[in-house]
Amino acid sequence: MQELITSYLVQKKECNLPLLGHFRIKTKPAELDRADQQIFPPTDEILYSEFAGNLSGDLITYISSLQNITGDEAETKINNWCHQVKEKLDSGGKIIFNAIGSLQKDATGNIFFQGKKGSTFYEPVAAQRVIHENTEHSVLVGDRETTSVVMNEFYREELVEKKSWWTRWNIWAVVLFGISLLVLFFYFYSYKLSETGIGNRASFPIKDPPGLHSSP
């Protein structure tokens, strides 16, 4: 019966056994190690809880199909096996599930599952990031679908246009600055550099203030 339950658990990833507990297989996805540039393969971890619910219905169907018996007969066989296993665990025995681990009671009387380290069928593989700069792929711009090549060309033309516009304004700025310097040169050449030369040469007459009012 252990072989059938193990086969069912591996395929369905979850199994409830009365009096024994609940098993669930959790698959950890592949992990990328950027530092060593490796990808580690996915791994399976069996999670166990001593508190189980009702017997898995799919397990009954699975065993009845493999042994060519009715569902009621399969359920009876599973329940009888669970009772026998529970008695063996209570007496200090161990129940071994090939390829996945074993069940046993600890010093406090609680059932625990000891997982078996499975064979590693996949080894880590080298992972080096490759950037395809000119690879064409579809992109969504607003509600319109286009390609990465078209968008790169669009932004390239826009950048060239902005640079051209900025270059033209730079040229005009240099020209205006040169004209300003030329005007200042001729101005200071005609008038010496002095307060009268750079200040306002217009003069304004200053009138005397009226006499102060005096009381009699």
Q: For residue range 102-137, list pLDDT tens digits in order.
A: 899 988 889 988 887 755 545 667 766 666 565 655
Domain ranges of the chain: 2-126, 144-197
Question: Would you state the pLDDT for residue 93?
Answer: 92
59/63 Cα distance (integer angstroms): 6
Q: What is the CB neighbour count within 10 angstroms for residue 20?
A: 22
60/1 Cα distance (integer angstroms): 12
- How many residues in the chain? 216
Residue 161, pLDDT above cutoff 70 = no
Residue 17, pLDDT above cutoff 80 = yes
Using 50, 70 and 90 to split pLDDT, how confident is the model at 28?
confident
* Pairing mode of beta strands 38-40, 125-126: antiparallel
Average pLDDT, the chain: 76
53/18 Cα distance (integer angstroms): 7
163/89 Cα distance (integer angstroms): 81
| Crossing angle between the packed helical segments 71-90 and 57-67, to the nearest 10 degrees | 110
pTM over 0.75: no
40/138 Cα distance (integer angstroms): 31
